[in-house]
DNA sequence: ACCGTCCGCTAAACCGGTTTAGCGTCCTGT
DNA sequence: ACAGGACGCTAAACCGGTTTAGCGGACGGT
C-alpha cells in the first residue's frame, strides 16, 4: 500500500479543520437538512478551501452503490469497437446512462475469462450483449447476482431481455434476393462468440430465417455457401476475397451484418465486380454507415433505445 | 442501505466455515506462499463451494487500486460514439488496457460537469481526449491528481501527451486541393468541445495549417467559407446542405474529420453532384471507413497505439 | 536439555467514507 | 415550573476486504 496518507484530504481532515465530527461533514454533503443551514454551508466552505473531494471507492463501499453500469461483451474490446454496429448500440446505452448520471464501464474477457472480468467490475447493473443462457462462464456466475438486461439473447430466469425479430428480418432479406432471381447466394454469417455452439443465438436465428425462405422457394442452402468471418469490415472483405479466389461465383451475398456487407462491397470493388449489376449485396442492422455506400436492404435496429428501461 | 447482508457470502463467512481467520482466506487468494499449501487449497475449496467472490469495491478501497483506466471525453457519450474516429481511438486504447488486465470506463460530463463525473469515477489513470489545458473544469480539478495522458492536446505540467502533426497534415490536404486548381474551397471544421474558445486545440491547429497553405498560394480563407458542424456523418451532411441551399457553390471541401467528409459525400449524392468531377472532398484521420466511399486524402493516425505507453 | 529461528496462522488496525443510535440543550405547552 | 419533544450534532459501528504486528509451536543447532 502506498504511503499516500499525505496529500489527499480526507473527510477526517475537513472535520478537524472545521471543528466538527466526520458525520457532520458527511451530512453537509448528503443530507444538508439534518444540519443547521449555517453549519452546513460553513463546512462546505472549509471543504472547498481545502480541496476536499470524497473518495469514490469509499463511498461505494459504504453506500453500496456504484452509479455505474457495465456493458458486457463476450468479445475482445478491440474487436468490439471495430464493429460499427456496436458503436450504434453503445450510443444508445450511453445516452440513457448519461441522462441518469451513471457511468459506463466496458467489461470484456480479461485473461480469457469473462467471469473474472465481471468480478473485478464495480457495477450496479449490466447490459449483456449476445450472451447465451448456456454460455459456460455465464451460467456459472449467474451474473453474480447483478441486475441485468440481455440483448440479442432469449430472456432468461428473471432477467429482462430485448431482441429483434432476427428470423423475420432474415427471411425478408432472403426473399428480396430470391425475388430478384438470384439462385447462387453466398451467406456471410458472423463468427461465434467464443467458439461455442454455432447455430444458436443471433446468427442461428438469422440463418434459420434464410433457410426458411430458401425452402419456400424450393431451394437449399449448401454448407459450403456459408462463411463466418468476424463481424468487421475487414472480416467481410477478406472472406469474400477468399470465396472468390477459390473459384466460387455467387451472384448475391446475404450478410448478417452491415459491417461485413461493407467489406464485401470493398472486395467487389477491388475485384472490379460491378454492384449491383453483377453482384447483389444485402446487409443487416441498418447502420447509418450503409447509407453512404450502395444501399443494401436492412432491418431496423431498435434495441439501442429500448434497453433504457433497465435504469 | 439495503439489508443485503443475506445472500452474499463475505470473507468472514468463508473463514468461519473453513475454521480459519479472515486473514487466512485473504492470503489463500493473494499470497498463497504465506500459507501451507494444504491449508491454502482447502480454503480455496471451501470458498468455491460457498460461491465466494471478493467484493471488488472493498478490494479497491483497501488495496488502493482499481485496475481500471478511464477515457475522458468533453462531449456527451452519445455524440462520442457517433464519431467513427472515436471508435478507432477506443479500439486502440482498449486493446492495450485489455492486455494489461485493466477495465475501461468512459467518463463524460454527467450533469453538465466533467469534474463531477471525474470525481465519481473509480479509476487509476485517465486518457483525456482533446482537453485543453485551460479548460475550465480541467484546470480546477488538476485532474484530481490522477496520472493522465492527454491526447490531441499540448503536453502540460508533467502529464504525458500524444498528438499528431495536425498543422502539417492540414497543410498537405490544403495543398492537394490547391494543386488541383481549386480556388473556391469550403472548410468544414469541427464543433468546439464545450463552447469554449475556438481556434485552439485540434481544430485550431488544422485551421492554421489550411491558412498557411492558402497564404502561400496568395489566397485567403474567408470566414463565411468556414463552418463548424459536430464531428459526425450527420453533422457534415447537414452542414453541406445548408451551405448549398444558401447559394454557395464551392468546388471543393476541406474537412477536418473523415466523419464530416462522409457526410458531405452523402449530401452531394442527394444533390446529384458528381464527386470528384464537380466537387472534391478531402477528409482527415484516415479511418478505415473511408476506403469504402470515395477515397479522400488522409493523414495517418497513430496515437491510437502510442498512448499505450501509459500502462 | 536449551536457546534461537522460522513457519503457519491470527488478532486487530486500517482504507474513507455512510449511517444508526443517542446525548445534550433549548424550546414549547400547560 | 416541569415534562416532552424537536433540533443539532457526535460517537461508534459498519461496509468487506488487505495488511502489519505478533503469538505459539515445531524444529534445528550446539
A31 has a pLDDT exceeding 80: yes
Higher pLDDT, B62 or B303: B62
Whether A119 and B54 lie within 8 Å, measured CB to CB: yes
By C1' distance from the Cα of B1, the closest nucleotide is C19
What's the gap in Å between the CA of A39 and the closest CA on chain B? 23
Q: Which of A220-234, B15-29, B59-73 has the highest mean pLDDT?
A: B15-29
A58: pLDDT confidence band, cut at 50, 70 and 90?
very high
Q: How far apart are CA A245 and CA A310, in angstroms?
A: 47
| Strand, helix or coil for residue B252 | strand
Whether B57 and A122 lie within 8 Å, measured CB to CB: yes
CB-nearest to A103 from B94, B98, B121 is B121
B120 has a pLDDT exceeding 80: yes
Determine contact: A168 vs chain B, CB below 8 A: no
Question: How many CB atoms within 10 Å of residue A216?
Answer: 12
From first CA to last CA, the distance across chain B in angstroms is 36
Higher pLDDT, A139 or A40: A40
Judge contact between A175 and A213, C-beta under 8 A: yes
Give just the sign of the alpha carbon dihedral B218, B223, B229, B231.
positive
Q: How far apart are CA A103 and CA A107, in angstroms?
A: 13
| Strand, helix or coil for residue B193 | coil
A287 has a pLDDT exceeding 70: no
Q: How far apart are CA B115 and CA B111, in angstroms?
A: 10
Whether B265 and A104 lie within 8 Å, measured CB to CB: no
* B-interface mutation test, from A1, A103, A234, A265, most B Cβ less than 10 A away: A103
Whether A95 and B80 lie within 8 Å, measured CB to CB: no
pLDDT digits over A145-173, tens only? 777 777 766 656 556 666 667 777 788 78
Q: Which nucleotides of D are covered by protein (CB under 7 A)?
A: 7-21
Q: How far is CA B17 from CA A117, B29, B45, B55, in A?
A: 27, 16, 11, 18
pLDDT digits over A170-203, tens only? 887 888 888 888 888 899 988 765 545 555 677 7
Identify the CA nearest to A291 among candidates A303, A283, A301, A279: A283
pLDDT digits over A73-93, tens only? 888 887 788 777 777 778 878
Higher pLDDT, B93 or B294: B93
B50 has a pLDDT exceeding 50: yes
What is the DSSP-derived secondary structure letter of residue B71?
Answer: E
A14: pLDDT confidence band, cut at 50, 70 and 90?
very high
Angle between helices A22-30 and A11-18 (to 10 degrees): 100
Chain B residues with CB under 8 Å of A266 CB are: 291-292
Question: How many CB atoms within 10 Å of residue A29?
Answer: 15
What's the whole-model pTM score? 0.75
Averaged pLDDT for residues B265-277: 84
CB-nearest to A98 from B2, B63, B76 is B76
Averaged pLDDT for residues A292-310: 53
Question: How many CB atoms within 10 Å of residue A117?
Answer: 23
Give me the percent of chain B exceeding a pLDDT of 90: 17
Residues 6 or more apart in contact with residue B52 via CB below 8 angstroms: B9, B10, B11, B13, B14
Averaged pLDDT for residues A284-298: 58
Helix residue ranges, H only, chain A: 11-18, 22-30, 37-50, 56-63, 77-82, 84-99, 114-120, 136-141, 166-179, 201-216, 233-245, 258-270, 303-306
| Strand, helix or coil for residue A120 | helix
Q: How far apart are CA B257 and CA B251, in angstroms?
A: 18
Q: How far is CA B290 from CA A53, A57, A247, B257, in A?
A: 44, 42, 29, 11
Residue A169: per-residue pLDDT: 76
User: Cα B94 vs. chain centroid, distance in angstroms?
Assistant: 11
Higher pLDDT, B239 or A98: B239
pLDDT digits over B55-89, tens only? 999 999 888 888 898 888 888 887 788 777 777 77
B1: pLDDT confidence band, cut at 50, 70 and 90?
very low
Helix residue ranges, H only, chain B: 11-18, 22-30, 37-50, 56-63, 77-82, 84-99, 114-120, 136-141, 166-179, 201-216, 233-245, 258-270, 303-306
Residues 6 or more apart in contact with residue A69 via CB below 8 angstroms: A93, A97, A102, A103, A104, A105, A123, A124, A125, A126, A127, A310, A311
Whether B265 and A78 lie within 8 Å, measured CB to CB: no
Query: In angstroms, how far apart are the furthest CA atoms of chain A?
Result: 85
Higher pLDDT, A55 or B85: A55
Q: How far apart are CA B47 and CA B29, in angstroms?
A: 10
Q: Which of A101-105, A299-303, B78-82, B89-93 has the highest mean pLDDT?
A: A101-105
Amino acid at each position: 500500500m502506498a504511503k499516500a496518507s499525505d496529500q489527499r484530504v480526507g473527510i477526517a481532515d475537513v472535520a478537524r479543520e472545521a471543528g466538527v465530527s466526520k458525520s457532520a461533514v458527511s451530512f453537509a454533503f448528503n443530507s444538508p437538512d439534518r444540519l443547521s443551514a449555517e453549519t452546513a454551508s460553513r463546512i462546505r466552505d472549509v471543504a472547498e478551501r481545502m480541496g476536499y473531494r470524497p473518495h469514490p471507492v469509499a463511498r461505494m463501499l459504504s453506500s453500496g452503490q456504484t452509479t455505474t453500469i457495465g456493458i458486457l461483451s463476450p468479445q475482445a474490446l478491440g474487436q468490439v469497437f471495430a464493429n460499427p454496429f456496436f458503436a450504434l448500440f453503445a450510443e444508445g446505452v450511453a445516452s440513457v446512462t448519461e441522462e441518469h448520471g451513471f457511468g459506463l464501464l466496458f467489461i470484456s474477457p480479461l485473461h480469457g475469462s469473462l467471469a473474472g472480468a465481471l468480478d473485478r467490475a464495480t457495477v450496479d447493473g449490466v447490459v449483456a450483449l449476445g450472451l447465451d443462457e448456456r454460455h459456460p462462464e455465464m451460467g456459472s456466475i449467474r451474473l453474480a447476482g447483478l441486475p441485468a438486461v440481455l440483448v440479442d439473447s432469449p430472456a432468461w430466469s428473471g432477467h429482462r431481455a430485448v431482441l429483434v425479430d432476427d428470423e423475420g428480418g432474415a427471411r425478408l432479406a432472403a426473399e428480396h434476393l430470391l425475388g430478384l432471381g438470384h439462385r447462387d447466394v453466398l451467406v456471410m454469417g458472423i463468427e461465434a462468440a467464443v467458439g461455442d455452439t454455432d447455430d444458436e443465438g443471433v446468427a442461428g436465428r438469422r440463418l434459420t430465417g434464410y433457410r426458411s425462405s430458401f425452402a419456400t422457394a424450393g431451394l437449399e442452402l449448401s454448407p459450403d455457401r456459408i462463411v463466418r468471418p468476424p463481424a468487421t469490415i475487414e472480416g467481410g472483405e477478406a472472406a469474400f476475397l477468399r470465396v472468390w479466389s477459390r473459384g466460387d461465383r455467387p451472384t448475391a451475398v446475404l450478410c448478417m451484418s452491415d459491417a461485413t456487407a461493407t467489406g464485401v462491397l470493398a472486395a467487389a470493388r477491388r475485384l472490379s465486380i460491378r454492384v449491383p449489376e453483377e453482384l447483389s449485396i444485402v446487409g443487416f442492422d441498418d447502420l447509418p454507415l450503409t447509407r453512404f455506400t450502395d444501399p443494401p436492404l436492412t432491418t431496423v435496429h431498435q434495441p439501442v433505445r429500448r434497453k433504457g428501461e433497465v435504469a
